[in-house]
């Protein structure tokens, strides 16, 4: 029977720690129903470096078993941990550095290792992810790339799998990650039944629809700030770069150079993102037609708007509304 170690530590997310175990428990129910009590069911234990109780980020206390170097598992799950700022996050990672040798030893002995959300940082510091394609939570993409430049980070994916290393995106993706693990150990039928029992939508394969187009990027260029405000105020108009440059009394070339240096994109690309973010908000909260929304954010050609939306967001405006619209209570 597959033996799993669920790694725990102070400030981990109780939802991913307990939730992962709960999903394995549901899989066991389906295994017993289909194959009888002799079925190869999952076993798990909560482990930590010290073996002392840990306190999750929400205050929940959990009893743990001490990591034993000679004890082998078939699966190790690394949950997400709370990000309370870069300084605090780095301190937690430093405290968990002593788990690296244990994780490497488990993997070399044949274990699968699944890391969820910010837990991917813990796995990355072992060096096992170097040269491999992985994902992590979309909102810490920049920090991950800076810390682990040897890792091939593909932020679009919700789940990546390479050589028994399974990484997942933002925290709730542990649901999909658990289903992937169940499929690998118990087969697609048990995985599918488990997902259906828990209403887990396995069609979510991309983080793209959740990614903000206008990522926060601090800079100190006052001219670019003025350009941003101008574009925000005039985004529904048909604009040319020369119009913006004239409004700021600078050349087109200087505007583009300063804008790219500060924000990593051209003014027109920034304008496009402004419009698409505004369209997303309207799709999430209102009932306007796709044509009306396109016109309201500056696109007179509905086909062009829909095509661009699909290219950048990963789905059509209609599909986006169906998934993300916030329905008011009756």
Phi, psi (rounded to 5 degrees) for 16: -75, -35
Strands 165-168 and 159-162, bridge-based pairing: antiparallel
Q: What is the pLDDT of residues 224-251, one digit of tens each?
A: 999 999 999 999 988 899 999 999 999 9
Q: Considering the domain 3-210 in this protein, what is its CATH number?
A: 3.40.50.880
Q: 42, 49, 53, 95: which is closest to 68 by C-alpha?
A: 49
Nearest to 161, CA basis, from 146, 139, 183: 183
pLDDT greater at residue 209 or residue 76 = 76
Please check the confidence at residue 328 and state whether its pLDDT lies above 60. no
Q: Is the pLDDT score of 279 beyond 60?
A: yes
Whole-model pTM: value is: 0.83
DSSP three-state, residue 325: coil
In whole angstroms, what is the distance from residue 231 CA to residue 248 CA? 11
pLDDT at 318 over 60: yes
Per-residue pLDDT tens over the stretch 132-170: 999 999 999 989 999 999 999 999 999 999 999 999 999
Distances (CA, A) of 192 to 33, 40, 289: 14, 17, 36
The whole-number pLDDT of residue 215 equals 66
Could you give the C-alpha distances from 124 to 64, 71, 146, 185, in angstroms and in order? 23, 22, 12, 24
Show me where the domains of the chain are located: 3-210, 222-324
Count of CB atoms situated within 10 Å of the CB of 256: 17
**Is-same-fold flag (3-210; 222-324)?**
no
Q: Flag whether pLDDT at 211 surpasses 90.
A: no
* Mean pLDDT of the 290-319 span: 94
Question: Which CATH fold topology does 222-324 show?
Answer: Arc Repressor Mutant, subunit A (1.10.10)
Q: Are 206 and 314 in contact (CB under 8 A)?
A: yes
Distant-in-sequence, close-in-space partners of 57: CB < 8 Å, separation ≥ 6: 11, 12, 13, 14, 81, 82
pLDDT of residue 59: 97
pLDDT at 38: 80
Measured between alpha carbons, how far is 127 from 139 in angstroms, rounded to an integer? Answer: 22
Whose tokens are 């010290």? That residue is 50
């Amino acid at each position: 029977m597959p033996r799993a170690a669920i790694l725990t530590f102070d400030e981990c997310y109780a939802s991913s720690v307990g939730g992962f175990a709960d999903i394995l428990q549901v899989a066991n129910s389906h295994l017993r129903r289909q194959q009888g009590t002799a079925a190869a069911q999952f076993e798990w234990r909560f482990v930590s470096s010290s073996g002392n109780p840990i306190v999750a980020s929400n205050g929940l206390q959990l009893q743990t078993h001490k990591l034993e170097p000679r004890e082998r598992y078939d699966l190790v799950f690394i949950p997400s941990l709370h990000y309370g700022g870069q300084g605090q996050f780095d301190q937690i990672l430093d405290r968990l550095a002593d788990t690296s040798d244990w994780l490497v030893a488990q993997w070399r002995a044949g274990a699968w290792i699944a890391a969820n959300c910010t837990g991917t940082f813990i796995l990355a510091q072992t060096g096992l992810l170097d040269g491999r394609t992985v994902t992590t939570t979309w909102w810490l993409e920049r920090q991950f790339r800076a810390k682990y430049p040897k890792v091939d980070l593909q932020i679009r994916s919700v789940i990546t799998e390479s050589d028994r290393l399974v990484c997942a995106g933002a925290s709730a993706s542990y649901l999909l990650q658990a289903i992937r693990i169940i499929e690998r150990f118990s087969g697609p039928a048990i995985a599918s039944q488990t997902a259906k029992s828990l209403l887990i939508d396995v069609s979510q394969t991309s983080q793209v629809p959740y990614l903000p187009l206008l990522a926060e990027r601090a800079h100190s260029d006052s001219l670019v700030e003025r350009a941003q405000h101008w574009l925000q105020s005039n985004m529904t108009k048909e604009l040319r770069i020369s119009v913006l440059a004239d409004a700021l009394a600078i050349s087109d070339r200087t505007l583009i150079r300063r804008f790219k240096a500060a924000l990593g994109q051209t003014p027109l690309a920034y304008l496009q993102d402004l419009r698409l973010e505004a369209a997303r908000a309207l799709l999430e909260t209102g009932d306007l037609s796709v044509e009306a929304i396109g016109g309201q954010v500056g696109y007179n050609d509905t086909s062009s708007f829909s095509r661009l939306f699909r290219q950048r967001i990963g789905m059509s405006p209609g599909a986006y509304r169906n998934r993300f619209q916030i329905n008011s209570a009756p």
